[in-house]
Amino acid sequence: MRYSQKIPGVHTSQGGETIRKDNRIDTTDLLLLDALQDDLPLTPRPWQAIGEQIGVSEEECLQRISRLSESGVIRNISPVLESRKFGLNAGTLIAFHIPEERIDEVAAIINSYPEVSHNYRRDHHYSIWFTIAGRSNGEIERIIEEIQTKAGIPDEDMISLPTIRSYKIDVRFRCIPEGSDG
Amino acid sequence: MDKTDQSILRELEPGMPMIQQPFAEIGKRTGITEDEVISRIQRMKDTGIIRKIRARINQREIGIAANALVAWNVHEGWDGYSRLAALPGVSHCYLRKPVPGKWEYSVYTVHHNRTESEVYFIVSQFAGKEGITDYQVLFSTEELKRVPAVRIDETGERIR
């Protein structure tokens, strides 16, 4: 049997904008999301292997992944690369104290640097927190100085917290709730 | 890692092809066989270049709405990193160099939970158990930038 290309629950309006009509996620979806956050089986037919894990066919597995991608639950399925293997040996977390009305302008300056991967506005005196990864501490210091100069942030409104050690990096969202022993 | 490995990474970065044999498709695009794609990916895993291949999910879509950075001022000799890292919803746990006299917090965790009160509950319960009295919970109110730290350039040759 062939499945049609149309994805259940996703309808396209005349303007081409996707409208989620039925975005209900069932238990099988949650099992699938948990399985997909583990390392993908490195076999010629990985979706078949994942399907076997959660008790659905390869076809259904693929169809569910497509639906969850269309509805924005899954961003993509991609490799996590080890930054140190790419020469990114130094990192820091920076916080700026910025008046509310300057946040957008300063964020644009910060975000223009490819060395900045994460930048969040936070509910605190230090209102912007961002990470810089670089080849060396020297390179990072140079970038910080440049951003400070461009954005006009004095030293007293800034903290830099260089990474000494990472104990955990594993962005994973458990979908099937843990037992009550948590 | 050679040019072929870089091409594979560049093809993988936007996301696995959603077809029965995705590695065969990657092979077609990079001019090698399915077997070679798989063995090259395996080698990049063995040498630690690829940590894993996994789904990046949008946690808000499954009801995980709260994101907090928690800064901990732990006492001398405290060694509860593995316990802290194992708390529900913790994705990152780092030791950082603080700024003496200005910002004394040296341990940082990132928490993703359903609600802010769930984060507070988990954090305060842990602090109580561990005897940590000084910590700050900083909820994010806006995501200004979020991309992987390592990205493959469009040419596949330059990697940052």
CATH number at residue A63: 1.10.10
CA distance B60 to A3: 29
User: Is B160 among the domain residues?
Assistant: no
Which of A18, A40, A70 is the last residue before a domain boundary? A70
pLDDT band at residue B154 under the 50/70/90 scheme: low
User: Is B94 among the domain residues?
Assistant: yes
> Which chain A residues are within 8 Å of B140, Cβ to Cβ?
120-123
User: Is B98 among the domain residues?
Assistant: yes
Question: Looking at chain B, which residue has its C-alpha nearest residue A64?
Answer: B18
CA distance B120 to B142: 19
> Which chain A residues are within 8 Å of B151, Cβ to Cβ?
114
Question: Looking at chain B, which residue has its C-alpha nearest residue A174?
Answer: B89
B75 lies in the same domain as B128: yes
Q: B88-129 pLDDT, tens per residue?
A: 999 999 999 999 999 999 999 999 999 999 999 999 999 999
pLDDT band at residue A6 under the 50/70/90 scheme: very low
Can you give the pLDDT at residue A102?
Answer: 96
A156 lies in the same domain as A129: yes
Cβ of A73 within 8 Å of Cβ of B57? The answer is yes
Can you give the pLDDT at residue A23?
Answer: 60
Partners of B67 in the β-ladder: B112
Partners of A14 in the β-ladder: none
| pLDDT of A181 strictly over 70 | no
pLDDT band at residue A1 under the 50/70/90 scheme: very low
CA distance A143 to A133: 10
Angle between helices A58-70 and A27-36 in degrees, nearest 10: 90
Cβ of A159 within 8 Å of Cβ of B103? The answer is yes
Please compute the mean of the pLDDT values over residues A163-174 and round it to a whole number: 85
pLDDT band at residue B49 under the 50/70/90 scheme: very high
pLDDT band at residue A87 under the 50/70/90 scheme: confident
User: Is B113 among the domain residues?
Assistant: yes
User: Is A104 among the domain residues?
Assistant: yes
Ramachandran category for residue B94: left, alpha or beta (phi over 0 → left; psi -120 to 50 → alpha):
beta
Number of domains making up chain B: 2
Determine the structural domain holding residue B10 and report its residue range: 3-46
CATH of the domain at A96: 3.30.70.920
Number of domains making up chain A: 2
Please name which of A73, A72, A35 lies closest in space to residue A51, comparing C-alpha atoms.
A35
> At residue A92, what is the residue type?
T
Residue with tokens 């990470």: A131
A57 lies in the same domain as A19: yes
CATH of the domain at B72: 3.30.70.920
pLDDT band at residue B160 under the 50/70/90 scheme: low
pLDDT band at residue A180 under the 50/70/90 scheme: very low
Determine the structural domain holding residue A100 and report its residue range: 83-162
Can you give the pLDDT at residue B147?
Answer: 84
CA distance B160 to A38: 25
